[in-house]
Structure 1
Amino acid sequence: MEVDPVAARWEAEEKAVRARLTDPDAAPPEQLAGRSGMQVFEAIFAGELPPPPIGDTLDFVPIHMEPGAAIFQGRPQRRHYNPLGTVHGGWFATLLDSAVGCAVHSTLPAGRGYTTLELKVNMLRPLSDRVALVRAEGKVIHAGRQVATAEGRIVGPDGKLYAHATTTCLIFDHPAAVSGGSHAQA
């Protein structure tokens, strides 16, 4: 597999996505309450809702969402390094948690939310800034009424597998939907 054409395609896809995104921020809960998971992602990609700030903090961006699947693209940087001079395991875990969690979120109807109950990450090889881009691909294994599971993997443009993960997520009524979007403090 040739690295350069894949990396060039990934770069172009990221550039096109970033051109549509607004500045990162936490979306107001009342703007999320009436939307399904897919509607939230469609609004993010359309620039109607902001992407979450964690991606800006750790240099990754959503690339593609469809029901039951999510792809994020990340850029390993020196500022993500651990004391051994490679990308910290927390970066792998956060990128994978985003991919598998958003894959689960993409299956949820309006008024439902999720949270990660468990995340298991296996790091197979180190990453450094010599690998310009990686992708985290998340796919739902099971989406039930109260629990969902998903799996994910981080791959480079050359097809190398850097890490894989599984998650269990708790599905719940979204607080903004239950309270009608009100955030009154007691």
Structure 2
Amino acid sequence: MGVHVERADDGSASIRFEAREEHLNPAGTVHGGVLATLVDTAMGTAVRTVAGDGDVPATSQLTVTYLRPGRPGELVVTARLRTKGEHLTVCEADVEQEDRGLVHAVATFALLHH
């Protein structure tokens, strides 16, 4: 997707993404599916910073709250772990554009052992 990971450590992650014309819906704003993919990607990256060797995070639940529409331009996504259990981990993430919140999301990840 062209996501740039800025930081990923200690249960948190920050990514940047340049929303372009192809990421827009018919209304001319960033498609909700793109925003959901971004928060899922950032949270999965955060979980991987604390997962054991051979553990793969798999999204088992994702709730996305859309606060305002996004426009073409840079989006910043920050994610952080809220609770890490033995088999499930809960994260949250925010998408901002020009220091304004666009999305808040919460997800549960299962750790699959490979």
Fold in common (TM above 0.5)? yes
1:161 aligns with 2:101: yes
Percent identity, aligned pairs only?
28
TM-score by length of 1: 0.59
Partner of 1:63: 6
Measure, in 2, the Cα distance between the counterparts of 1:153 and 1:98.
Answer: 12
Measure, in 2, the Cα distance between the counterparts of 1:148 and 1:62.
Answer: 21
Measure, in 2, the Cα distance between the counterparts of 1:68 and 1:167.
Answer: 14
SS of the residue corresponding to residue 75 of structure 1 reads: strand
Structure 1 alignment gaps of length 5 or more: 1-54, 175-186
1:171 alignment partner AA: L
1:134 aligns with 2:95: no
2:102 alignment partner AA: Y
Measure, in 1, the Cα distance between the counterparts of 2:86 and 2:111.
Answer: 7
TM-score by length of 2: 0.94
1:108 aligns with 2:48: no
Hey, which of these two has a bigger chunk of helix by percent?
A: 1
Partner of 1:146: 87
1:162 alignment partner AA: L
Partner of 1:91: 34
Q: RMSD in angstroms over aligned alpha carbons? A: 1.0
Determine which structure has more spread, i.e. the larger CA radius of gyration.
Answer: 1
Measure, in 2, the Cα distance between the counterparts of 1:161 and 1:84.
Answer: 19
Tell me the matched-pair count: 114
1:79 aligns with 2:30: no
Describe the superposition over 1:15-71 as per-residue Cα deviations: whole angstroms up to 9, x where unpaired.
xxxxxxxxxxxxxxxxxxxxxxxxxxxxxxxxxxxxxxxx33xxx211111110011
Hey, which of these two has a bigger chunk of strand by percent?
A: 2
Q: Which has the higher contact order (CA 8 A, sep 6+)?
A: 2
How much has 1:153 moved relative to structure 2? 0.1
The runs of 4+ residues in structure 1 deviating greater than 2 Å are none
Mapped contact 1:78–1:128 kept (Cα < 8 A): no
SS of the residue corresponding to residue 117 of structure 1 reads: strand
How much has 1:114 moved relative to structure 2? 1.4
Partner of 1:173: 113
Aligned pair partner of 2:63 in 120, 133, 148: 120
1:160 alignment partner AA: R
How much has 1:159 moved relative to structure 2? 1.6
Structure 2 alignment gaps of length 5 or more: none
Measure, in 2, the Cα distance between the counterparts of 1:101 and 1:166.
Answer: 12
